[in-house]
Structure formats: C-alpha cells, structure tokens
C-alpha cells in the first residue's frame, strides 16, 4: 500500500539524503571561513602572468636545493618576502594605494640567511632594495662607473669596494643556485606567487622557513568591482569601499606548508600596542615567531616574540645590522624546531 511505499522511499531515498546533507553541513562547519575567503580571493584575482615560468623556476630551484645537504641535515630553504604590495584602484591602473617598505629588511636578511647556509627565495616588490646592493649609491650605474679615455668602463675608486663585494656576493649566490629572485607589484601578484612558493616548498617539510617581512595590504578593491578605466575627477569626490584581504597567514600555516617554520612581522607606529599586537598575531596565526618593530626605530631594535619569551634584539653599532643577531637567533630556533620534530 501507499504506506509501505512511503516508508520505502523514506528509508531508501530520504534518509540517505538526510545523512548526506548532514555530512555536508558538518564539513561546511569544519572548513574554516578564512579558507573560503582565500579561495574566493584567488578565484576573482586577475590571472597571474608568467605563472608557468614562475612554477618552473620554483620546481627547479627546490628540486636542486632539496638534494643538497647542509651542516645538520638537508640544506634549508627560506622564503623571504620584502617590500610593500600595491592595491590598484583601476583595472587599467593609473592609481594605486601603496604600503610602505623600502625592502631594506628583506634584502639585508637575505644576505644573512645565505651566509648561514640557507638557500633563499626572495619575493620582492619591483624597484625595492636588493641583496648585496645596500652599500651602493642610488644611481649605481652613473655614480660608480666612469668612461676612460680609451672609452672602456672603469670603476670609480671611491666605490670600488662596494661594487666588488656586490658583484661577487651576488654572483656566488646565484651561480651556485642558492638565490632565486621573484618580483611582484600588486597584492594579487604577491599572494598568488606566495601560494606557488609555499605549495612548492611543502615537500621540504620542517627544513622550510618563511620570513614574511613584506608590508602586505590589509584592504583591497576586488577585481570585479574595480573601475576598468581611469576614474574621472569630473564625477566629484571619490567614495570607495575597500574589502578586507583574507588572512593568508592562517592558510599558509594550515594548508600551503603546514610543517614549515613561520616567522611574520608586526609593524606599528604606536609602541603602546606593538607587543600586544605581535602576541595576538603569534597566537591567531599560529606563527613560530613574530618580529615586532616600530617604524622609526626598526633599523636599531626589534623584539622577537615567541611563545616562551619576548627578546629585545639590538644592532651592535651603527656600522652593523640588527638583522645579523636576529637571523642568528632565528636560525637557532629553526634548528631546535627541526630537532624536536625529528625526535
């Protein structure tokens, strides 16, 4: 009778459907909201030019370096990010919002990591400070060289040492395959390349390190809601609403490279809130260390915040770099991390 049919339908069709949809609901609950936001950020971002060429370079670099050995175990690889990301306001971009960073921290740190036996993937903002070029003048080509009477090119005596050490330091690192440089400009490029780097570094496990010194935009204009052409001033004052950039640090830790050692930076101009913010970032994004710095004193002192301590790190004198003791400490912490994971 109809009663039996109904029962059968309920058991065979409805019930499994109920179970099925409950499964889906549970999965939806389990998947973190940030993960969704990240996914939609990438889906709506403008396509990364040269994605294939970047992936190719990364695969080659990581394959080569992962087969090398360092002083304790496999050679370590660090991804250093450097410089600020831009947020375009128009798809055919005339105007953009920028984040302050000269790239000095990233470039200097790269040199110290190389010195410590790491290979470095240097993800940097186009036009910012480069490793080994810190002691060169602003216009190196014009200021460091001169044309001799036989029209050969000569180095100015005053810059000879700086030029020599720049060329040899850079050549050593690149020719041995220890340094890979990848440029970005926009927040879209930065996050897409960072994801490529992180997912290709996943196979390195705990010998991978992320040192995220880039100044990354917190707010952006989603591509689909962005004006295509130059915004016209004749239309009067400009009102715009910026969306929040998803917190990719979480995604990096949870999905892209879950066993890598992760160091992020916290920049504030108000020292009162700096340590509190750094501590919050450490917990929230499950970082292994957060380097807290204040804008005006960032070259003299940083505070290395970890679960167990807050350590002041100073540069020794005005000729030295705060990155020297900082990288030394981080390398030690990274060693401990690898040992503990292997134990």
Question: Where do contacts with ligand 9Z3 occur on this chain (CB under 6 A)?
Answer: 101-105, 212-213, 215-216, 264-267, 293, 298
Residue 251 CB, nearest approach to ligand 9Z3 (Å): 13
Copy the structure tokens of residue 87. Answer: 């947020």
Residue 21 CB, nearest approach to ligand 9Z3 (Å): 38
Nearer to ligand 9Z3, 185 or 264 (CB): 264
Terminal-to-terminal C-alpha distance of the chain: 67
Residue 294 CB, nearest approach to ligand 9Z3 (Å): 9
- Cβ neighbors of 29 (< 8 A, separation 6 or more) are none
CA distance 343 to 326: 26
CA distance 236 to 240: 13
Tell how strand 208-212 and strand 96-98 pair up: unpaired
Tell me the H-state helices in the chain.
2-9, 15-30, 33-44, 51-66, 104-115, 140-144, 160-175, 187-201, 248-251, 271-284, 323-342
Dihedral sign, Cα of residue 68, residue 69, residue 70, residue 73? positive
Nearer to ligand 9Z3, 133 or 155 (CB): 133
Nearer to ligand 9Z3, 191 or 215 (CB): 215
Residue 291 CB, nearest approach to ligand 9Z3 (Å): 7
Nearer to ligand 9Z3, 134 or 159 (CB): 134
Residue 264 CB, nearest approach to ligand 9Z3 (Å): 6
Nearer to ligand 9Z3, 104 or 334 (CB): 104
Copy the structure tokens of residue 209. Answer: 């390190």
Tell how strand 153-155 and strand 145-147 pair up: antiparallel
Nearer to ligand 9Z3, 173 or 213 (CB): 213
CA distance 93 to 86: 11
Residue 240 CB, nearest approach to ligand 9Z3 (Å): 21
């Amino acid at each position: 009778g109809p009663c039996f049919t109904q029962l059968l339908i309920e058991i065979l069709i409805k019930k499994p459907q109920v179970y099925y949809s409950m499964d889906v609901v549970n999965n939806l609950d389990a998947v973190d909201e940030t993960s969704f936001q990240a996914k939609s950020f990438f889906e709506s971002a403008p396509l990364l030019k040269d994605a294939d060429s970047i992936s190719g370079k990364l695969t080659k670099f990581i394959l080569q370096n992962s087969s090398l050995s360092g002083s304790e175990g496999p050679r370590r690889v660090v991804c250093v990010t450097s410089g600020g990301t831009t947020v375009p306001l128009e798809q055919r971009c005339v105007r953009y919002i920028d984040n302050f960073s000269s790239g000095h921290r990233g470039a200097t740190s790269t040199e110290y990591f190389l010195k410590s036996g790491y290979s470095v993937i240097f993800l940097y903002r186009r036009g910012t400070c480069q490793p080994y070029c810190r002691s060169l003048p602003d216009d190196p080509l014009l200021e460091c060289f001169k044309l001799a009477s036989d029209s050969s090119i000569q180095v100015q005596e005053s810059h000879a040492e700086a030029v020599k050490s720049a060329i040899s330091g850079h050549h050593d690192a690149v020719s041995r395959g220890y340094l890979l440089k990848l440029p970005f400009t926009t927040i879209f490029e930065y996050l897409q390349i960072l994801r490529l780097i992180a997912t290709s570094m996943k196979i390195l496990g705990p010998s991978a390190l992320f040192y995220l010194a880039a100044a990354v935009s917190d707010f952006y204009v989603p591509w689909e809601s962005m004006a295509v052409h130059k915004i016209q001033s004749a239309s009067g004052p400009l009102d715009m609403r910026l969306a929040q950039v998803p917190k990719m640090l979480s995604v990096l830790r949870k999905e892209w490279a879950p066993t890598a050692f992760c160091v992020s930076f916290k920049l504030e101009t108000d020292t009162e809130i700096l340590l509190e913010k750094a501590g919050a970032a450490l917990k929230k994004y499950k970082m292994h260390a957060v380097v807290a710095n204040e804008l005006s004193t960032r070259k003299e002192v940083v505070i290395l915040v970890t679960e167990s301590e807050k350590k002041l790190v100073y540069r020794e004198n005005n000729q030295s770099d705060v990155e020297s003791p900082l990288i030394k400490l981080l390398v030690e912490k990274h060693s401990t991390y690898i040992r503990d994971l292997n134990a």
